[in-house]
Structure 1
Amino acid sequence: MSEFLTPGVFVRHPAQPDWGLGQVQSVVGQRVTVNFEHAGKLLINAAAISLRVVDPDDAE
């Protein structure tokens, strides 16, 4: 999945829906920095967490 994670892509954290929509800021190996609506900027280990790529215009 991490091959789809590039800066600018919108994602959701599957275990933290309350964080809201996130936008990938940077990707270095398996380390993905994401800026979430309600949680701010967080470093995610893509080897441990499969972020879900979403279309920001789709309602959830």
Structure 2
Amino acid sequence: MEDLNALLEPGMLVSHPDRPEWGIGQVQSNIGGRITVNFREQGKVVIDGRHVTLLPVFDD
């Protein structure tokens, strides 16, 4: 299976599959599998893409 996190670019909207309470987040950066996301309800979080596959959000 292709690494879906590798397709994430700054500005894209995502959700965390294990933390729906964080709400929708906007990708700030994606460097070396470390994805920085600014979530509406949680703030800025750095996610290790080796352990979590973020879900793209196309309809907000």
TM-score, structure 2 as length reference: 0.89
How many residues are aligned here?
57
Give the secondary-structure state (helix, strand or coil) at the position aligned to 2:21: helix
> Counterpart in 1 of 2:51?
48
The Cα RMSD (Å) is 0.9
Is the 2:12–2:26 contact (alpha carbons within 8 Å) kept by the matching residues of 1? yes
> Counterpart in 1 of 2:31?
28
TM-score, structure 1 as length reference: 0.89
Percent identity for Structure 1 against Structure 2? 46
Q: Distance in 2 between matches of 1:56 and 1:31?
A: 24
> Counterpart in 1 of 2:41?
38
